[in-house]
Amino acid sequence: AQKITQTQPGMFVQEKEAVTLDCTYDTSDPSYGLFWYKQPSSGEMIFLIYQGSYDQQNATEGRYSLNFQKARKSANLVISASQLGDSAMYFCAMRHNQFYFGTGTSLTVIP
């Protein structure tokens, strides 16, 4: 059974605009973590942001924020003030007994 779903294979955003990348997950375990990674064309998987299932507030890291809606089992990544260097693949992942990755969203920032 697929644990993590990313329904947007590709997204485009204008430079300096905000963009939301969708992620939904499936688990019956009360304790889990949600992660977002960025993978530029160079290949490195860069950790962006973490949200724990018991965290009361949405996680934020600089221009990245995670819109965590537990009842809807969604963990969308919001990137504010997009930059050209944000063009990359973005993977949502969940951890409870092991790590599960979504299929990824390819983001292109247009000048």
Partner 1 sequence: DTEVTQTPKHLVMGMTNKKSLKCEQHMGHRAMYWYKQKAKKPPELMFVYSYEKLSINESVPSRFSPECPNSSLLNLHLHALQPEDSALYLCASSHNHLAGGLARNTQYFGPGTRLTVL
Nearer to partner 1, 18 or 99 (CB): 99
The residue among 88, 91, 70, 64 whose CA lies nearest residue 4 is 91
Dist CA 109 CA 4 (whole Å): 24
- Considering only the stretches 12-20, 45-53, 69-77, 80-88, report the one whose residues sit in contact with partner 1 under the rule CB under 8 A: 45-53
Distance CA 60, CA 50 (A): 9
Residue whose CB is less far from partner 1, 42 or 111: 42
Q: Does 7 help bind partner 1 (rule: CB under 8 A)?
A: no
DSSP 8-state code for residue 64: E
Contact pattern from residue 59 through residue 88 relative to partner 1, giving x for each residue in contact according to CB under 8 A and a dash for the rest: ------------------------------
Structure tokens at 23: 């992620």
* Nearest approach, Cβ of residue 60 and partner 1 (Å): 14
Q: Hey, what are 34's tokens?
A: 């949600």
Q: How far from 77 is each of 9, 35, 58, 61, CA to CA, in Å?
A: 14, 10, 10, 11
3 binds partner 1 (CB under 8 A): no
Site residues (vs partner 1, CB under 8 A): 31-35, 37, 42-47, 50, 52-53, 89, 91, 94-99, 101-104, 106
